[in-house]
Every structure is written in structure tokens, then in C-alpha cells.
């Protein structure tokens, strides 16, 4: 009989919501009405959606005249999900680091400011005709999975992760005087640029090392990990994602660029 085992699943969340000032003004004097962002799908947790709403003027008696922001999760499975996220309105120097545990479809609620402050130009919640709310963080949950009898060789995920964990990597990438070890075969399979480097007999191929100067260490390290398996990079900021795509362009890692765009980046353009 197969036994179940629990695995930890992490999924990044990222929203940058640009709200036109006129949309906020339309409901300023309508207590309880709210605006809703686009709805996004969590990349690593099936059938889970997230979004944010803002109510410029709450209608609860004790909260009347206050602006509140809501972070929503919607899902059907019986999951306990821990959300760790930062919510920011950078123009107003508003920043809050939050931890909230969802037992079911629910929302986190946080006070932003009072309604008068929201529309006060000196408070800078609204700048150049728009309010920008950013959320970045991680959702973590445990899920029971059936244990299966499988060998290393017949599971692609296990193969990729197993390769990354090997100690016999034969090529070194140096960034900011720090080293990242990788396999030539993996790099050549992912990138025609690396493949040509290894075939050409260049200095880098002979010395089994290359120096990369035009990307920071954390971007190169994460990009190399993505060459092995996407689960090795469970979270990335929007700026990091843009730099990853630039790295993939430079080294012509096209299949990975397409996969990365679907998993990590597609929601940002909705």
C-alpha cells in the first residue's frame, strides 16, 4: 500500500497595482465600496488565486473615514497557507511586513490611512494621477503526496535536482569574485552561447571557468539554478525577473526563457 508523505510547497506572489485617481474619487463618498486588482494564479499551488482590494472609505461604524487594503486568497482545497509578504506604497513611504495564516479562502486586512490623507497631495499616496500598491512575498503550505516507487533515472524533476546537488560540477562561473559551480553539459544544453564557448577551445573552455561582469551575483546564481530546475528559485522580485530575462536573452536560453515567462512573469502583464 502506498503511504502519503507531506511536502512543503512555496509559491511567490507579486502584484504592482496602478489605480487611477479618478477611480478612487468616484467611490470616496460611498462608504463600503471598493476597487479590485486583477486576479493572479499562484505558480506552484494549483487552483489558488490571489488579488488585492482597496476600500477608500470603510462603512463599519468604528472604521468610517478610514482607508483599508485587503489581500485575498481564493482556493477550494483544505490547505493551511502561511503568507509572508511586504505591502508598499513607495511614494508615501508606506511599508508593512506581514505574516498571516489562511485556513480557507479569506483575506488579510490592513489599515492604510484615513480617507482625507489618501487624497491629500502632501501625503503622496496619489502621485501623477495614480496610486501604486505593491505586494511581494511567499505563500507556504504543506500538501500530502502519495509515495511512489520510482528510480532516479525515470523522473525528470529528480534528475535535474539530483544533478544540481552533485559535487562533480566541471565548470565555474565567477561573478563579483564569488564562484558558482555548474555542469558544462547542462549549460551547453540550455545555451548555444555556452555550447559554442566549450566547442571553440577558447581560454574559458580550457580553464573551465568564465568571468561574468554585466550581471550581479544573485542574478547569475539564480539563473544558473533555473537551468537545472525552477523549484530552486522559489521567489524573485519583479526587478529580478526582468534581469533574468535579460540574462536569458544574452546567453540565448530561449526554451528556459519561455518557461520562465509562463511560470514567473505572465501574471505581471495581466
Q: Under a CB-based contact definition with an 8 Å cutoff, are residues 177 and 170 in contact?
A: no
For residues 113 and 94, give the distance between their C-alpha atoms in angstroms, rounded to a whole number: 10
User: Would the pTM of this model clear 0.75, i.e. be above it?
Assistant: no
Can you give the pLDDT at residue 153? 40
Can you give the pLDDT at residue 70? 96
- 3-class DSSP state of 67: strand
Can you give the pLDDT at residue 35? 96
Can you give the pLDDT at residue 37? 95
For residues 137 and 111, give the distance between their C-alpha atoms in angstroms, rounded to a whole number: 19
Please give the biggest Cα pair distance in the chain. 75
Can you give the pLDDT at residue 1? 44
Can you give the pLDDT at residue 173? 94
The residue whose grid cell reads 512575498 is 137
- How many Å is the Cα radius of gyration of the chain? 23
The residue whose grid cell reads 566547442 is 199
Can you give the pLDDT at residue 25? 95
Residues of the chain with pLDDT under 70: 1-5, 144-158, 259-270
Can you give the pLDDT at residue 263? 57
The residue whose grid cell reads 507531506 is 6
The domains located in the chain, with CATH, are 4-146 (2.60.210.10), 152-269 (3.30.710.10)
Q: Under a CB-based contact definition with an 8 Å cutoff, are residues 7 and 44 in contact?
A: no
Amino acid at each position: 500500500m502506498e503511504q502519503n508523505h507531506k511536502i512543503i510547497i512555496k509559491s511567490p506572489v507579486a502584484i504592482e497595482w496602478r489605480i487611477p485617481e479618478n477611480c478612487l474619487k468616484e467611490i470616496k463618498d460611498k462608504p463600503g465600496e471598493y476597487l479590485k486588482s486583477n486576479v493572479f494564479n499562484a505558480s506552484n499551488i494549483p487552483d489558488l488565486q490571489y488579488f488585492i482590494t482597496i476600500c477608500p472609505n470603510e462603512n463599519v461604524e468604528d472604521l468610517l473615514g478610514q482607508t483599508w487594503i485587503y489581500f485575498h486568497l481564493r482556493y477550494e482545497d483544505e490547505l493551511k497557507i502561511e503568507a509572508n509578504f511586504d505591502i508598499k506604497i513607495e511614494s508615501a513611504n508606506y511599508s508593512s511586513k506581514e505574516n498571516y495564516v489562511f485556513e480557507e479562502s479569506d483575506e488579510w486586512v490592513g489599515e492604510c490611512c484615513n480617507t482625507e490623507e489618501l487624497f491629500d497631495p502632501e501625503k503622496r499616496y496619489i502621485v501623477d494621477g495614480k496610486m501604486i500598491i505593491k505586494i511581494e512575498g511567499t505563500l507556504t503550505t504543506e500538501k500530502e503526496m502519495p509515495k511512489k516507487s520510482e528510480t532516479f533515472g525515470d523522473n525528470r524533476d529528480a534528475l535535474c535536482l539530483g544533478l544540481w546537488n552533485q559535487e562533480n560540477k566541471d565548470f565555474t562561473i565567477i561573478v563579483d569574485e564569488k564562484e558558482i559551480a555548474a555542469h558544462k553539459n547542462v549549460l551547453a544544453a540550455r545555451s548555444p552561447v555556452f555550447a559554442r564557448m566549450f566547442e571553440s577551445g577558447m581560454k574559458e573552455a580550457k580553464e573551465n571557468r568564465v568571468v561574468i561582469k554585466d550581471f550581479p551575483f544573485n542574478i547569475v546564481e539564480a539563473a544558473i539554478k533555473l537551468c537545472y530546475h525552477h523549484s530552486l528559485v522559489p521567489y524573485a522580485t519583479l526587478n529580478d525577473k526582468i534581469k533574468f530575462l535579460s540574462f536569458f536573452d544574452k546567453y540565448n536560453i530561449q526554451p528556459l526563457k519561455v518557461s520562465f515567462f509562463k511560470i514567473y512573469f505572465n501574471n505581471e502583464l495581466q
